[in-house]
Amino acid sequence: MEDELYLENIDEFVTDQNRIVTYKWLSYTLGVHVNQAKQMLYDYVERKRKENSGAQLHVTYLVAGSLVQNGHTCHKVAVVREDKLEAMKSKLATIASVHVYSVQKALLKDSAPLYNTDYDIVKTNLHNCSKFSAIQCAAAVPRAPAEVPQAQRASAQAGSRAPSDAGAGSAPVVNGHAPSAAKQTSQQPKGIMEMFAAKAASKGHDANKETKTESKEAPGVSAASSKPPAKSSIMNNFFGKAAMNKLKVNSVPEKPKEEKEVVKPSVPVAEPESSSNVVVEKPGKKTESVKSQQKDKKSKMKRVDKSDNEEEREPENLKKKRKRIKQLESDSSDEEDIPPSPTPEEEKAPSPPPVPALKAELEPVPTEVSAGGRKRKRKRVLKSKMFIDEEEGCMVTEKVYESESCTDSGDDFTESKPPPPQKQPVLPAKKEPKEEKKNVKKGPAAGSRANKQVSIMGFFQKK
């Protein structure tokens, strides 16, 4: 069912929008794995050709293989037009892969438009350019900016790359196309492997590493499974010395140990536990690409969270600092952007705990203070408070009764959230112990905090 949708989409792109649909473009646009995109293009071409609807479709193919030139094997990867496909295939001694590169209505003179299409789509998706690719690297996690200079010092970290094979069951696509992807991809190996497996079998070449890895895939897994336990100890050693100096010209003590295996879904459970030691700051390596992608997401989220927390903490600290300064300088710092509203919340948060502790001190404190010769009276003063209303994005001025000390040391608490007036009695009551505490603490310091409303001469009287 979903296949039909995709085919219709491709149809629309190619015929109606007259686009050059490359496998990469399709992969990003539809959000599917690259191998799936290639298979979809192949299906589309097959169907269209069968239908014979007369619409001219031009297809370009990617051919990769090796040939023997001047006595040694060279690998070639080429994008060819359909008419040259057979010629290219015959030139190559062994063919590693052939698949559809792009489908378009118009005949292309050269491959520049292909490049442009890919360039545009990659540019718009730069930050998840590996999302749909077949190879995932667990080490490739973007660092938070603060860590970058530190990481410069450390030696190279081990990466691990595991090809997220689109074949046999492992679902590489995260966005919910998993079941159909599995179906598609199980068809796809048949389709494409048919194309080159026959050729590869007939023209087997010992030195060709492609065929080697293909045939090794099955036994390779069991070998791979025994490798990770052995390597985990090496990994541990490596990360014991993780923080080494970076390069000089002469000696670059890099010891990356990278594990790569050809993935099969049965890749052993040993993988995750060995990989848990792998990277210091990164999550464990997973060979299942779904998990790896999810993990990557998680790790990315972790990073995002971390950075978010950092960001949140900072303004809080700033606010706290500013709040103190503000108290010292009182109204002179009214123009500051800091909305007074969040700060009383912060204040209230620490205030309840100290309140019970303070209450015990309350009795002696006021008497002390008053006995200290500084006459402090509490007065209700109508003040106009200005603050920024975040929801509406405007500055609000309100006339609020504030209790404040009539001497210079009056703490101008920024209680003026727009609380309904009934809250006022509650607030002052709560504030009093705080104020007292603050007064006690800042008695001398607050002396210079001139309460302009009272009298500037109060400043001099203090002295």
Partner 1 sequence: MPQRRWLHLHNTWQDVQVRKLCELQLQPSILQEISEEHNLEPQPPLPKYIHPSDELILEDELQRIKLEGAIEVQQLVTGTILAVYGCEQDDGKFLVEDHCFANLPPSLPWKGPSADRFVLLVSGLGLGSGSGESLLGTQLLVDVVTGQLGAEGGQSCAANISRVLLAGNLLSQNTQSRDTINKAKYLTKKTQAASVEAVKMLDEILLQLCTSVPVDVMPGEFDPTNYTLPQQPLHRCMLPLASAYATLHLVTNPYQADIDGVRFLGTSGQNISDIFKYSSMDDYLEILEWTLRAGHISPTAPDTLGCYPFYKSDPFILTTCPHVYFCGNAPRFQSKLLQGDEGQRVLLVTVPAFSATQTACLVNLRDLSCQPISFSGFGAEDDDGDMEVGH
Site for partner 1, residues 53 to 92, rule: CB under 8 A: 60, 62, 64, 66, 69-70, 72-81, 84, 91
Nearest to partner 1 of 152, 202 (CB atom): 152
* Cα distance between residue 122 and residue 35, in whole Å: 17
Counting beta carbons within 10 angstroms of the beta carbon of residue 6, is it exposed (0 to 12), middle (13 to 18) or buried (19 or more)? buried
* Cα distance between residue 111 and residue 104, in whole Å: 12
- Least distance (Å) from partner 1 to the CB of residue 170? 12
Residue closest to 98 by CA, chosen among 59, 54, 124:
59
Contact 79, 223 (CB under 8 A): no
Residues 27-56 within binding reach of partner 1 (CB under 8 A): 27, 34-35
- Least distance (Å) from partner 1 to the CB of residue 56? 18
Contact 265, 286 (CB under 8 A): no
In angstroms, the Cα distances linking 335 to 339, 385, 388, 449, 456 are 10, 11, 10, 17, 20
- Least distance (Å) from partner 1 to the CB of residue 298? 17
Residues 145-164 within binding reach of partner 1 (CB under 8 A): 145, 148, 151-152, 156-157, 159, 161-163
**Residue 369 interacts with partner 1 (CB under 8 A): yes or no:** no
Name which position in 221, 262, 358, 386 contacts partner 1 (CB under 8 A): 262
- The single-letter code of the amino acid at 300 is K
* 355 contacts: CB under 8 Å, gap ≥ 6: 430, 433, 434
The number of residues that bind partner 1 (CB under 8 A) is 94
Name which position in 137, 328, 338, 362 contacts partner 1 (CB under 8 A): 137
Per-residue HEC secondary structure of 91-139 comes to HCCEEEEEEEEEEECCCCCCCHHHHHHHHHHHHHCHHHCCCCCCEEECC
- Least distance (Å) from partner 1 to the CB of residue 72? 7
Contact 96, 196 (CB under 8 A): yes
| DSSP string for residues in 401-422 | EEEEESSTT-------S---TT
**Residue 256 interacts with partner 1 (CB under 8 A): yes or no:** yes
Residue 338 tokens read as 């800091």
**Residue 98 interacts with partner 1 (CB under 8 A): yes or no:** yes
Name which position in 36, 102, 104, 136 contacts partner 1 (CB under 8 A): 136
Which range, of 48-56, 135-143, 269-277, 344-352, touches partner 1 by CB under 8 A?
135-143
Which range, of 129-137, 351-359, 426-434, 436-444, touches partner 1 by CB under 8 A?
129-137
Nearest to partner 1 of 51, 110 (CB atom): 110
Question: Strand 58-69 and strand 72-81: pairing?
Answer: antiparallel
Contact mark string toward partner 1, 441..460, x via CB under 8 A: --------------------
**Residue 255 interacts with partner 1 (CB under 8 A): yes or no:** yes
* Cα distance between residue 337 and residue 76, in whole Å: 63
Nearest to partner 1 of 219, 353 (CB atom): 219
Name which position in 107, 135, 269, 445 contacts partner 1 (CB under 8 A): 135
Which range, of 104-112, 304-312, 358-366, 406-414, touches partner 1 by CB under 8 A?
104-112
Nearest to partner 1 of 238, 387 (CB atom): 238
* Cα distance between residue 278 and residue 280, in whole Å: 7
Q: For residue 370, count other CB atoms closer than 10 A to its CB.
A: 12
Residues 178-207 within binding reach of partner 1 (CB under 8 A): 189, 192-193, 196
Residues 296-325 within binding reach of partner 1 (CB under 8 A): none
Nearest to partner 1 of 254, 334 (CB atom): 254
Contact 405, 439 (CB under 8 A): yes
Nearest to partner 1 of 63, 450 (CB atom): 63
* Cα distance between residue 18 and residue 113, in whole Å: 13
Name which position in 205, 260, 297, 348 contacts partner 1 (CB under 8 A): 260
Which range, of 209-217, 319-327, 336-344, 351-359, touches partner 1 by CB under 8 A?
209-217
Residues 212-251 within binding reach of partner 1 (CB under 8 A): 212-214, 217, 220, 223, 227, 247-251
* Cα distance between residue 406 and residue 242, in whole Å: 62
Q: Report angle CA 7, 11, 17 to the nearest 5 degrees.
A: 145
**Residue 107 interacts with partner 1 (CB under 8 A): yes or no:** no
**Residue 133 interacts with partner 1 (CB under 8 A): yes or no:** yes
Nearest to partner 1 of 281, 329 (CB atom): 281
* Helical ranges in 160-208 per DSSP H: 178-202
3-state secondary structure of 217: helix
Nearest to partner 1 of 89, 438 (CB atom): 89
Contact mark string toward partner 1, 371..410, x via CB under 8 A: ----------------------------------------
Residue owning tokens 């998840």: 128
